[in-house]
Copies of this chain bind each other. A is one copy, B any other.
């Protein structure tokens, strides 16, 4: 069983908080320390029992940790990692929970090259919701969730085993892949749907909202997510999202062309193809 003396989680929001709760519930660490800019957030994280103690100072929080998990918004991860790398103890393993990987992993691996005695492995636990904040955190948020761990020629094999072991211990279904393959897959399965949901919610007239039924609610639910957080994610996976949105636009155009022509057989076939893919996923909501 994987076990750490001190785990430090930087960024104690929905994901960081859920990781803290899960590590504590499963007794995977002697101590879980939280780092956050705002003291009020740390107090809330303590109240939720997501962390054992909190600090606003990255260096203080990281000192002596054998595992550091950076769960801040994507754009802050490299800058925070640079501090962590400087102050981490020898043998420390560093990972993150960022939704894009190529941009982060390239930057952090470059920084980490000056400290061959600390080990970085990129992670993306694919859980979350449109809600934010440690109050929405839950110890089972990661249970049965997909979690992608990235592997590059620079990834230390021991640290890769430890990080995959951590996520598995928290109940996630772990896949190991390259940062670029991660970014391609995730642009289709997560970033594009978010962008489309924002696009849909933004194009409807406020007066029509009174007619919204489950279809509109479901399709646009993630448009209630934090705009800054998602601008960050989109901007750090730009090339892949532009490519996947072209594929989406091309497919939508096919359906719209069938509509314009009144071509019922093509329309039905395109919808049936989409349904067949969607039906591969169960519609069961994860119970947390």
Contacts and interface: CB of A to CB of B under 8 A. Distances in A.
Contact of A231 (B190, B199, B245, B264): B264
A205 interface: yes
Interface residues of A, number: 89
Interface stretch (A53-61, A160-168, A206-214): A206-214
A195 B255 contact: yes
Interface of A: 126-130, 145-146, 148, 173, 175, 185-186, 188-190, 192-228, 230-231, 234-235, 238, 241-242, 244-245, 247-252, 255-256, 259-260, 262, 264, 267-268, 270-275, 277-281, 283, 285-286
For this chain, the copies found in one complex come to: 2
B216 A190 contact: yes
B224 A283 contact: yes
A220 B202 CA distance: 18
Contact of A198 (B201, B264, B274): B274
B274 A262 contact: no
A188 to B, nearest CB: 5
A205 B264 CA distance: 25
B211 A148 contact: yes
Contact of A216 (B189, B206, B226, B241): B189
B216 A193 contact: yes
